[in-house]
Structure 1
Amino acid sequence: MRLPVLCIALSITAQGLMAQSSPKAEDVAAIKGQCGCHDVNFLYAETFAPEKSYAFKDRYTAKGTELVFVEEESPTKIVIQHLLVVSDSMIVKHWREDWLFQNTNVLKFDQNASWKLQKLTPAQVKGQWTQKVFEVDDSPRYDGTATWIHADGRHYWESTVDAPLPRREYTKRTDYNVMRRTNHHEIRPDGYVHEQDNDKVIRSEAGDQLLASEKGINTYKRTDEKKCQAAKDWWAKNRAYWADVRAVWNEVLANREAVGIKGQVKGQVMGREIDELAATAQKGPYNSATSRQLIKQTIEKYLK
């Protein structure tokens, strides 16, 4: 299978990498192969539980339209942003993924919205890319590192990593506190598939106990770019603000051996406050310095 050539116009550096014949060039092409306007299907089903008494939960299905694009880039880093198109008048800033080449610092999820810095050796990550996944407010979610595989006409990346519960779970249940995710990203001619084999784990001082396992298949199929025009217009208006949110988070996380985030502060949640700041920023000429100060104050208020 030949990889789709997407997002090339965004970076002269990327064009140079694509012209090379090294494996790294294939990696860049694969990561960028996620780009485009997609019709997305989300499918999840629990498949196994060690306890016979466990009552399997209903299958989860959802559909949507999502714009996926390269927002920031250097020779060893590719920032990909997802925007969910609810309607022409409602765009939701969705999750973000940063891809870092031969990265030695990863945040390892523990439990209860807390992470610890794990330092890897250059030998451990040789030729690998770390996928750092972030929440809709750009707070950390999980980091996984692995090698992109290009063989037999296939292009895929797979890692296993502990993560907090996704929104579809934490809004409905509290019977487990860690999701051990095996993420498989595979590029296809018409888009890509994010396949998951997830273990739902109860973590306590006594150790980890498996509650149930599930299969997830998220299919991204490219569609008419016009369906994502509203998202492109929305990002043009909001891009500067979210660039500042990313920059502040990078500063906050840069020198921390561990990070923990409070669920609520005085009845408020961080994501809502970050969104409210975004709305305020649209009411007048954008001031980056002021926004960064307010963003930092908001984030620090929620740090444990």
Structure 2
Amino acid sequence: MAWLVTGGAGYIGAHVVRAFGEAGIDTVVLDDVSSGHESFVPAEVPLVRGTILDGALLQDIFATHEISGVMHIAGFKYAGVSVQRPLHTYEQNVTGTATLLAAMADAGVGRIVFSSSAAVYGTPDVDLVTEDTQKAPESPYGESKLIGEWLLRDQGVATGLRHTSLRYFNVVGSGYPDVYDTSPHNLFPLVFDALLAGRTPRINGDDYPTPDGTCVRDYLHVADLAHSHVVAARRLESGDELESAYNLGSGDGASVGEIMSTVAEVTGIDFTPEIAPRRAGDPARIVASGELAARDLDWKMRYTLRQMVESAWSARHAASNAD
């Protein structure tokens, strides 16, 4: 038996696939490689190139492979871009998830772990976000993730689907030297790309009500994230009861200014970030409690901020040298 990992050729998905392999659990990857990389998928793992919108392909995967559960990570993940491309976002994230759930039901596959997002909360007015914090997404992306959670909930009522959703905050770092974040919108790759190109990284706003004036975010190491995915899958297979959703958060957070200082120390590239205007909609602080996930999914912060930066830089620098 194997778990189907949608989006398994992406930065997060590839870490999850490798964590499954290290735990002795077989996987099959479905990915259209639009933002992922075939090289991220281990050679021994079957890779099906395609999209979750292709119901016939999904049916073929379930008929060809013995799938015991689905790790649903595929999706359009760019919150800012989703505002300009709402229909594309809903098609990929809502219609795609519905198509996947329909194929699962037809094949009798009754377990799923869903890659959700902190974007379901929008701009929370609390110091520490919990799973019960009001859901107020501010982008089509955040809305699509919340709808995805509703789809799982409703399918659970209708068919007995066993499910949980993991709400990510800011995922960084690398667990392997050949897998790294290639998103054109995430902070770490933006900073690294600027440094490698001889440009000065920038900070959007330094006048927030935070200790150093820059936004505070919850940064999580991708290897810790992947580990809790494996635990969630195992617990669903064991018939354990899980919460419908978990925040994967640190309970603490770090500022963008701290990230910049740590990057300068790790890379040995001395720079003073350029200060750009605030971006509309950027809250001063978003930090989440990970208590429920710690209780149920062996969630913990095993890496310091410096180790997160070191692992991310090492993988990205190695990739740039290989190009």
- Both proteins in one fold, TM over 0.5: no
The structure whose residues are more often helix, as a share, is: 2
